[in-house]
A and B are shown apart, each in its own frame.
Chain A
Amino acid sequence: AQSVAQPEDQVNVAEGNPLTVKCTYSVSGNPYLFWYVQYPNRGLQFLLKYITGDNLVKGSYGFEAEFNKSQTSFHLKKPSALVSDSALYFCAVRLNTDKLIFGTGTRLQVFP
């Protein structure tokens, strides 16, 4: 079955430190991978996507993600975290049918 896993419910990081939010996937064929961020009582905001090409994808707000085919991972990263980055982050994979399958979400907490 095709799926997306976010192994960490919560990630805590101090402001200014690098952050990583993990995502692994299991799909047949070439994956289309996405990261979205959700602030409280809000919809999802698109951060970045990997379709093809360079494995390192740069997105909004200084975030980037690295596609690793051998490890079937698409971890989200940022070199220097901000308190305002605190939110719920979702990894998603698009199926051939155009549907998105979401991971369970990871809450990022950045402490001042």
Chain B
Amino acid sequence: GAVVSQHPSRVICKSGTSVKIECRSLDFQATTMFWYRQFPKKSLMLMATSNEGSKATYEQGVEKDKFLINHASLTLSTLTVTSAHPEDSSFYICSSRLAGVLDTQYFGPGTRLTVL
């Protein structure tokens, strides 16, 4: 299947700093990428949909100024958590939709963010 990577896999930062998470589709072009947040023992919550070359579409309740998403190329999307606070600590997962195949998303391995 299609391979999606995320970097870093784990990050620990101080409160008030910003953290950037990268999501790459390694062997296919992804016109659309998705960013999810997963709390412990909970399901995935869609944060935003990222389309290459255009602004991301955020879900209701997700602060777009806090969670900056950039999708500059067909293989890379980034999520920047700005001015991180302890409540932003979570597992962030991205997925990519294979161009021309509308129905299947392939997920990255996730990034564990801990804000101290």
Contacts and interface: CB of A to CB of B under 8 A. Distances in A.
A100 interface: yes
Interface stretch (B14-22, B72-80, B98-106): B98-106
B18 to A, nearest CB: 23
Interface residues on chain B, size class: 20 to 34
Given A43-B93, A105-B43, A98 B49 contact: yes
Contact of B46 (A36, A43, A49, A100): A100
Interface stretch (B63-71, B82-90, B107-115): B107-115
Interface of A is mostly: strand
Interface of B is mostly: strand
Contacts of B104: 34, 46, 49
Nearest to B1: A46
Interface in A88-110: 90, 94, 98-100, 102-105
B43 A43 contact: no
B107 A36 contact: yes
A102 B4 CA distance: 19
Interface string A16-51: 000000000000000010101000011111100101
B24 interface: no
Contacts of B97: 98
Contact of A43 (B42, B103, B110): B110
